[in-house]
Amino acid sequence: MTKVSVIVPIYNMEVYVKECLDSILSQTLKEIEVVCIDDGSTDRSWEILAEYAKADARILPIRQENLGVSTARNNGIKKASGKYLIFMDPDDWYPEEDILEVLFEKAEKSGCHICGGEFSEYDDRTGEVRTEFPEQYFGYVFPNEGVIEYEDWQFDFGYHRFLYNREFILEHQLYFPKLIRFQDPPFFVRAMITAERFYAVKKVVYRYRYGHRELKWTKEKRIDLLKGIHMDMEMAVQNHLERLVDLTWFRMMEEFGKIIFEGIIEKEKNTREWIEKIYSILDKNRRERNGYPFYDRLIDEYRKKVETINVLEAGADAVKKTITFRVGEILLYIPRSIKLVFFR
């Protein structure tokens, strides 16, 4: 019997995927399968997978056209056969060899549908490992080991350090939303709300790598980020998870604020629409709670930023209508026209 299926979506990770696979295959729990979904890689990732699959029958390589990480993970869920599922990114790894064995045994004994451990980060630039985090990342570590009610925890990040009972996932159709960014928090929150509780293991079980690649934000990524935040916010409000509401709003304003407001400055219509949708949920929730200082401060900040941007945009539009601006445009256009005549 396959006890655990490790689902690994892969796209152009030839530099890191070997370390990832080696950390999985060296686990003391041997009754595992590694479901590797290559999402249309253009480097040697698929060739590396094929080589590993020949050497170890526990690796199940699957190739798909480039449909995105959510589709890759969802296909992995459908192909998996283990009693439990766990997810890993191809540039991360397990810090110890007994991780899967510990999680499996704790899940079996506790009877919980979800069982997970603590989180750690690895800075690829410096080699530094971090296991202590600021207050807003309280959920990366646990105060004690044992069963925790999600209502008492209300965290949304680090889904890949948890085992999920496969029958539970399939029964409730818990799949990743098809978003380019921020697709894992909605999956994780929905799974936790559905399960109601989980077993917390007081042990670091996952090493997350960062600082090795630059993320370039596009309009599509910004919109999907906001859609994911909106999903989290809706679930939090509907289930009266006030701490999660606050945390999600914090992520939007503090972690992703600069990225989101770049979209506003660029006059991305959809960006503003999704911000307003999120804000309407917050504003309604705040009124129902008879006000809340945290909201008051952040919503006031949001309003001030939008007002400032509106003033700047109005000023820019006014300048463009002036005679001076139009004359300047003509003066710039004339030299360009002359260049085109002589150098085309």
Residue 69, CA distances (Å) to 37, 108, 226, 283 in order: 9, 29, 17, 33
268 phi and psi angles, rounded to 5 deg = -80, 110
For 122, phi then psi, to 5°, come to: -125, 120
- pLDDT tens for the 344 residues of the chain, in order: 999 999 999 999 999 999 999 999 999 999 999 999 999 999 999 999 999 999 999 999 999 999 999 999 999 999 999 999 999 999 999 999 999 999 999 999 999 999 999 999 999 999 999 999 988 889 999 999 999 999 999 999 999 999 999 999 999 999 999 999 999 999 999 999 999 999 999 999 999 999 988 888 888 999 999 999 999 999 999 999 999 998 888 888 778 888 887 877 777 778 888 888 888 887 776 666 655 444 555 556 656 666 665 665 565 566 556 655 555 554 554 444 444 443 34
Amino acid letter, 297: R
pLDDT at 319: 52
* pLDDT per residue as tens digits for the range 255-285: 888 888 787 777 777 888 888 888 888 777 6
Which pTM value belongs to this model?
Answer: 0.84
Cα gap 203→195, rounded to integer Å: 22
> What is the model's pLDDT at position 287?
61
Residue 272: the pLDDT is 81
Say what the pLDDT of residue 278 is. Answer: 86
Could you give the C-alpha distances from 134 to 121, 130, 209, 232, 269, in angstroms and in order?
13, 11, 18, 21, 34
Q: Which CATH superfamily is domain 4-210 in?
A: Spore Coat Polysaccharide Biosynthesis Protein SpsA; Chain A (3.90.550.10)
Residue listed under structure tokens 């630059």? 214
